[in-house]
Structure 1
């Protein structure tokens, strides 16, 4: 390894951490927003950064593929890494962008044909090289002509070219393989992402990448940290941690544990959060109610459950409703739940039974009315969080049983249902 390369390796470790900034709505609404920090992806970022840095230094082609669910953070990982690379290799005295040591291009393939992908790259290269092209001529060109123009522009570059193709599963594998072969011959860095859940049935037809990065889903605690970080960057008023935890719990329960759907919910909540205060908890529940498929509880089924339950369970649910309505809290802890159950028992002069209490909690969990939070629990305990009755009988993972719980129905709606239920008596 030469001295220059050693210095570059050292410079990567000594990059000063920039101050965390405020970006406003962009941090939630811009799909290509690059955050100040990547949370729980240090290992993947370090691997990708070292790989690309070596490729640039040694002028060899690297074909890198990232696989993962939509919304898991593939695009932001690559863009954040490229941002660091560009900042590292860009020379302060250079004014002409065509003279940069690294020239990256990003193309989102979703909904595009290969010709459109190549056109985007050609257009960018022409601007970098200050090369005059006729847009009408390009638009009317066939694939072969576009390909020849692309190769000609690449040969004019005096820098490392990096092409980042997002959602490559939308493009014909034969054409991507052709790009792969050309990248090999010209020492071009080619990065592409696959959305695991929507990948092309021809996935096996794509050439095997030189390097592969698989991105798993997050755990609840990491997802909470990401949500908190996004709120800090997007919203001037401080947002309570309990509200962010509530959104993360819903995402983990009714969607995938990835940042995409969480950021989508936060963006829909943005108008509310801009003027946030703790009394808005019910308004936030109302907005979240329609965010996930399978989350909106069947009101008839819920009404049937309440109608079929005995008087003790009705009073207990009514007590819980009153608690959330009067406190504006997102969660109720185990001891408070137990206390409300004791009060319900006393109101009808019935002896409190731990077994019946836990059975009621399980029933409320099964209809997705009152759910245990997964945030803050060790992962090994979450794996076995499959119902309070199971845990009680097996005497294991009692921390999950005693987790704070949240309601999934706005208190006004639940209160109306309880009024109807008590009217039947």
Structure 2
């Protein structure tokens, strides 16, 4: 029996710790069968549900699960299912794991594993932390907990579960796997889980998840069925991949013919804005601001102005940085916010569709933005991950037969990842410029 790690990713950034695997932007049965037959031990289905309301997210997740069940029928593949979401606890939990359990269960347990070491997210004593300026801060004290769609009040994961399930799963019912447990080995405990028990998992360093997943895979081989709600670091441990074949600092070799590129910045978190500011100071770039206050009324005029600016800068040998205005807008409700975000995204994708055909590289900043770049702007059915150009920042490449951008390298850069200079560093690597600073990779 063959094990396949199947990841339903609520935006396209979950591949930020792996390489060699497929990202699917379509999930019909035929495409899923192709991915199941691929040599890589894992693949991602990019559902983009973090950009949807809960009802639509549930419907999309259900559709993927039903098609996946059909694709698996008659095969000897044993799936390990992962609902990959945000390492700062934003997303449609428990909506997505509930639907997966209904369609592909029963499971003996589902695990929350939000640690993401590359982004400074760790969990100890069941409290989830984000490292800020060298200090571990409980995530409920960060800007991410104040998200207008996915906000929460607790960093202690059993309380987070109780909050998000509205008491359906009380904190007292959540099984805690602490660092002490994991480092001693939890195989026997895993074998006794049943009835989709809710479990939360500590992890402080990669070896913690390596040890945990060894026990998980042993329990899976013994017949246990588990579901995971995780950030990206768990996937590295589950897949047990070797080092990526092309080093991060050498990713610029994929730039097409040494040409300038384009950068699309949709993310509005504070870190993205700081990264954008430093990028705009880098040599060889030109900023193109999209004034979203003019949308939707002057949409076509805004689009024409942006495209004209991109063309002029590209002709002058510069990389155009297309970014949405940084002012924070207020909305009457969540639906209005999501609708406006979709309108802005659609405009950015019209820009991507019409970028110069001889573009050297493309950098997409923001999870939802990156999903739209792959699925809509570039109209990719699937793409293969080459690896990371910086910690937590993946590179994929358009297929050779792409009608407009054959073999174009595309950077998937999450909104809340990296240091302030990481976006500029990634640009410099693809532009063939000397690295600067002490940015770790």
Same fold per superposition (TM over 0.5): no
Report the TM-score, using the length of structure 2 for normalisation. 0.31
Q: Give the helix-richer structure, 1 or 2.
A: 1
- Structure with higher Rg: it is 1
Question: What is the TM-score when the length of structure 1 is the normalising length?
Answer: 0.32
- Relative contact order (alpha carbons < 8 A, sep ≥ 6): 1 or 2 greater? 2
> 1 or 2, which has the higher strand percentage?
2
